[in-house]
Amino acid sequence: MSRGEPSQVDASGRDSPGIGLLAALLGAVGIGPVLLYGLSATSELVIADLDITEAQFGLFATVCFACAAVGNASLARLSDRLSDRVLMSLIFLLVALALGLAAVPGGYVLVLVAAGLSGLAQSFPNGVTNRILLQRVPARRRIGWAGIKQSGVQASQLTASLAFPALAVWIGWRGASLLSVLLALGLMALTFRALRAAPPLSAPDPGHSRPTSASPGATPAAPSASPAAARGPEGASSTSRLPGAVWALTLFGFLNGLGVQATNVYLPLFAVRELEFSLLAGGMTAAAAGAIGVAARVGWGRVTSRGASAPRLLLALALMALAGAGTFLLAGATGWAALLWLAVALHGASALGVSVVIMGTLLRRIPAEKMASATGIATAGMFAGFTLGPLVMGLLIGATGGFQAGWLAAAGTYAGCAVLAATLVARGR
């Protein structure tokens, strides 16, 4: 509870949700990518141990995010009908299974299967956590909390990029994966406790009726619904009548996602091979991107919560990401470590912050009974980009023997984002 804010209670006299629920939302969003970020941070060891090429390594991300994209698109309506507890259980149990499988010394294919399971687990977090925000959190805190919980992905990147290389020196990358199973199960227990302590708001929250007049560019938010409505008749969550904004955000998320995961997956390998960083230092580059990404998502979430124009924010982020891709290209050409760290900062502050702007916009426009399906479509767009980005980067590295073509391709995707955002600004959408 923020200092100076009155306590809000429901009909049973309970206080509005606190840090426990926020931690649960953060964990649900962040747990899915742990395996992939861990593999990326120890990529040099994984490639050597499995005797695979860079393009084959990129298939881990491709399979992971392809499963996530298909899951978000195909399971969106089902997600609207399942309870919060069931969806949260699916997330953590699928991730625990994936981490456990990756730890089994069964070869390349088994790790691919594990990557697919971790992707399937990412079919649900954005939708269910957005619905929880609408139904269990007062309106004045929703978008701010959205920024924090969306930073879970970058918190995962930070944690895995630091922990996996350190643990790999001690018990190997498979041992690091096995130990991470405990993290998934522990977060599931925390989530169950937080959901019990924060029941749905029993009355409509007046603060959600419309944005304040001091929030230019904000769009009216739809009223939230009861849990029964959110899981109501199948026709209640049809994606056929979603606002055009959902599809525009989906396209932007796809283009941004191409560059984001092409960079995230191969960043440690780039640092090790092109700038001669050690394995631990290579992991630190991804960890730094994650740390900056956490701050960026929280910060951009606060800006979004004040009613800033989403197209203008997305345009600014796209231009910053484009500058970051160019700086990666210069770092590889010159071998200057300082340029690499600057590129990491630009990447973390911009491309990694897009998700919270997209989620915040959905929270302002979409009612609770369609939140999981609308979020699923927008998230599917992002994951489709995540799927193709690492695959293309891996193929370019294998074909050219370096990273230059890959960074140029990433720059091209961010240029596409900038054009789309500029078009939306010009149309006043």
For 266-320, the pLDDT digits (tens) are 998 899 889 989 888 888 998 899 889 888 888 888 888 787 888 899 999 999 9
User: Which region among 35-44, 158-167, 183-192, 420-429 has the lowest average model confidence (pLDDT)?
Assistant: 420-429
Check pLDDT > 70 for residue 235.
no
What is the pLDDT at residue 221? Answer: 38
Tell me the residue type at 92: F
Mean pLDDT lowest for which of 45-49, 245-249, 272-276?
245-249
Cα–Cα distance for residue pair 217/223, rounded to 1 Å: 19
- Per the structure, how many domains does the chain have? 1
Q: How far apart are CA 319 and CA 162, in angstroms?
A: 29
Judge whether 3 lies within some domain: no
State the average pLDDT over residues 132-155: 83
What backbone phi and psi angles, to 5 degrees, belong to 163? -75, -45
Tell me the β-bridge partners of 9: 15
Residue 390 lies in a domain: yes
- Output the six-digit token pair for 357: 């702007």
Stronger pLDDT, 29 or 123, i.e. the higher one: 29
Please work out, in degrees rounded to the nearest 5, the angle formed at the alpha carbon of residue 202 by the alpha carbons of 196 and 206. Answer: 125
227 domain-assigned:
no
**What was the pLDDT predicted at 121?**
92
Evaluate whether residue 216 is within a structural domain.
no
φ, ψ at 341 (rounded to 5°): -65, -35
Q: What residues make up the domain containing 70?
A: 19-202+243-427
CA 231 to chain centre: 24
Residue 336 is part of a domain; what is its CATH number? 1.20.1250.20
Token output for 407 = 């960074």
Cβ pair 349, 320 in contact under 8 A: yes
Q: Express as a percent the part of the chain with pLDDT over 90.
A: 41
- What pLDDT, on a 0 to 100 scale, did the predictor assign at position 204? 43
Residue 7, domain member (yes or no): no
> What burial class does residue 23 get, using C-beta atoms within 10 Å of its C-beta: 0-12 exposed, 13-18 middle, 19+ buried?
middle
In a domain, 232, yes or no: no
Q: Where are the beta strands (DSSP E) in 63-143?
A: none
Question: Which residues, in sequence order, are CB contacts of 233 under 8 Å at separation 6+?
Answer: none
Tens of pLDDT along 386-408?
889 988 998 898 888 889 999 99
Is the separation of the CB atoms in 43 and 97 below 8 Å?
no
Q: Which two tokens stand for residue 125?
A: 């977090």
Positive or negative: CA dihedral 328, 331, 332, 333: positive
Collect all residues with Cβ–Cβ distance below 8 Å to 196 and sequence separation of at least 6: none
Residue 76 has a pLDDT of: 67
In the predicted model, is pLDDT for residue 365 greater than 70?
A: yes
Neighbouring residues of 182: CB distance < 8 A, sequence distance ≥ 6 = none
Q: Which residue has the higher pLDDT, 212 or 129?
A: 129
Is 210 within the bounds of a domain?
no
Assigned domain for 8 exists: no
pLDDT of res. 375:
79
pLDDT at residue 214, rounded to an integer: 33
What's the whole-model pTM score?
Answer: 0.71
